[in-house]
A and B are shown apart, each in its own frame.
Chain A
């Protein structure tokens, strides 16, 4: 198994999501509030995993533009849940760096009145430990 294949496998394992179930309906991209700021669009995440191209996903802006609002997870008719794939890719990057991207203590300082609520909720979910 090549490194790329291993990474893709890891993403599938962490996310618990099956990218082969995708029927390319695009409901994830239609639902995404950060769509315009993303270089790789939510519906494309699946293809990147299927093509074992986790590297590109890890380098992409989308990884950090995803609000983890999970609208795509809620609405995906095929149970692919692209939001979980992104979440898993983030995990992978964070694990490689050996630390969290954010520390829980840093959050209050970063709070911005303009900040979407989803991000807050998401941060709580992520850093609840």
Chain B
């Protein structure tokens, strides 16, 4: 029989205002196994913990039940307290009488009754608890960063700076990400490439960092500290060790009709290409889908002109398998597709563009060499209208429910840059709200109005109608003046919502990292653990976690790096002892458990089984406790009841249910 102590917390008034804690103490005293019960205003305080420690010693407790907040808050606290007092930490159970009881009930009588029932269930479980020992697992001192944008680069640089090896896997031919497509950055208006390329160079030159560009993560297995990852290095068709980056192949390539992804399809590129001039590595790839040689077999111009003999049409995809201790997701974002927003005529008129397209048009290396012009007739525009919140803050299925966060600032930037360079151009911004929290952000927006006289109008645009003369009639409203506004614009710029990179779903599935309804990766805690995924060993960097601008992304990238460094600095990790275990006597070797195990933790071996009247070799299930995450799927799948979860055995669960139903 256990000797159980029950400790009921008031949590100030959080619990005590709704639950009669004295009555709970009085009633649980009568439960089987309970030898001690008391209440205290704050059990988690030092004084509260010392009461528990004291009772463990004086009452010789073998089990503890704390009736308090959610185990997610303080289970670890009370288990450590028990351990310090010489009690196995897994002999402590929490009855959640705050989140599950006092916070959601108003009636004291009912809430008290429920608190007693919850306590009774925990007591019933502790009666069947057995001491468990946490095992140890090793830590591979190498990190993987998925995505080579500013988030991934910064995380990798910071991890490398601490002395650990780190690999960046980037899907496109070059690192740099979205930031490399930007012309200027707010709120300082410095050139994006000027501040990004030094970081790209640093990442490439750092001997601790390995870049896998034009590569994708294909398979992930293992667990925190010991992941095994397959990386597919797609065939570049160019030998990276021979190429000098002279660029002649790209000049001579006769296939020039492929939409240029880097310029958002505003112009075309050759089939052999580097995405942009400062690309790292500065080695082109052959886009086999658009290459004449690969499609028809006749061409080979690039191979003929390459002085270094670097072109290799025979190159094949390569799979690299590596071990990592930690994985950082930094997959970034894209703009949403605007095909559902017919009213803004984006697909009808080439002069209705997205902000990212404007970014390329304004850039000296862009499709217009930095000249502001209409994509239809290359004439300079006179009237430009910006429309905010296109697809952001939407309640319908056309858009996204969230604020994309960066649009107010980049639109102010665009408006200012245009008014600065082309003072004759009228710039109108239709906004719903101008949201500019951040250091020097609101001042930046005010400058657009006060210094550059950008015309901000409160009201969303209803529709944009392309006119026969090539102009765009913008139907808007001025809600503050209460009249409709019609503007004959010759260029319309849409602040399209941003969304997580569509590939993130696939990657999250591979990592068993959770994502929310908007495909943003979920944090372990939205406030207190914002750069960690609930899946141990997976960390989040940049927009894959939620909309953010460059300063925020860089801060978060550094925070993710610190978490990775903290993990890699450990030689061993304690493993969760609440893993599955097969009873070899009951196991019939049917494989049902192995089939449902999401972690590949179950294998089979022939074991000699001995019991009274039994002595034979049987094929039985064996759980690798380092891989097992304790999800319990196998215990449900097992037809003979041989599989059980330590710390959450079937008997314990039934005892809890019985206690509740008593």
Contact = CB atoms under 8 A, between A and B. Distances in A.
A, B from the same assembly: yes
A27 B394 contact: no
B459 interface: yes
A79 B393 CA distance: 11
B396 interface: yes
A41 B481 CA distance: 12
B389 A25 contact: yes
A118 B396 CA distance: 24
B463 to A, nearest CB: 6
B482 A21 contact: no
A24 B476 contact: no
Contact of B462 (A27, A78, A79, A80): A27
A126 interface: no
Given A29-B484, A30-B461, A77 B477 contact: no
Interface string B311-328: 000000000000000000
Contacts of A78: 393-396
Interface string B19-33: 000000000000000
Given A23-B393, A75-B343, A36 B462 contact: no
B479 interface: yes
Nearest to B461: A30
Nearest to A27: B460
Given A29-B459, A41-B482, A75-B462, A21 B395 contact: yes
Given A25-B459, A25-B460, A30 B477 contact: yes
Interface string A104-119: 0000000000000000
B385 to A, nearest CB: 12
Contacts of A23: 393, 432
Interface in B449-504: 458-463, 475-477, 479, 482, 484-485
Contacts of B476: 30
Contacts of A25: 389, 432, 459-460
Contact of B475 (A21, A24, A30, A41): A30
B332 interface: no
A26 B479 contact: yes
A28 B362 CA distance: 33
A30 B396 contact: no
B399 interface: yes
Nearest to A36: B484
Interface string B590-615: 00000000000000000000000000
A71 B394 contact: no
A43 B484 CA distance: 12
A27 B475 CA distance: 9
Q: Assign chain B's interface to a size class.
A: 20 to 34
A31 interface: yes
Contacts of A32: 462, 484
Contacts of B432: 23-26
A42 B61 CA distance: 70
Contacts of B398: 77
A48 interface: no
Contacts, number: 69
A41 B461 CA distance: 15
Contact of A26 (B343, B463, B477): B477
A110 B485 CA distance: 32
A64 interface: no
B482 A31 contact: no
B401 to A, nearest CB: 10
Nearest to A18: B395
B416 to A, nearest CB: 24
A42 to B, nearest CB: 9
A77 B395 contact: yes
B456 to A, nearest CB: 14
Contact of A35 (B389, B460, B484): B484
Interface string A7-49: 0000000000000010111111111100110000101000000
A26 B460 contact: yes
Contacts of B395: 21, 77-80
B399 to A, nearest CB: 6
A35 B479 CA distance: 12
Given A29-B484, A30-B460, A36-B484, A79 B396 contact: yes
A34 to B, nearest CB: 11
Nearest to B397: A79
Nearest to A28: B462
Interface string B379-408: 000000000010001111011000000000
A36 B486 CA distance: 13
Contacts of A71: 462-463
A36 B477 CA distance: 11
A76 B432 CA distance: 13
A91 to B, nearest CB: 24
Interface in A45-68: none
B473 to A, nearest CB: 12
B81 to A, nearest CB: 47
Interface in A67-111: 71, 75-80
Contacts of A35: 477, 484
B403 to A, nearest CB: 10
**Highest count of chain B CB atoms <10 Å: which of A21, A32, A75:** A75
Nearest to B341: A75
Contacts of B477: 26-27, 29-30, 35, 43
Q: Which 10 A-B pairs have the closest CB atoms?
A: A31-B462, A30-B462, A27-B460, A26-B459, A30-B477, A25-B460, A79-B395, A25-B432, A29-B477, A77-B394
7 contacts: A26-B459, A26-B477, A26-B479, A27-B477, A31-B462, A31-B463, A77-B399
Given A23-B393, A41-B482, 15 more contacts: A26-B458, A26-B459, A29-B479, A29-B484, A30-B460, A30-B476, A30-B485, A31-B343, A31-B463, A35-B484, A76-B396, A77-B393, A77-B396, A77-B398, A78-B393
Interface of B: 343, 389, 393-396, 398-399, 432, 458-463, 475-477, 479, 482, 484-485
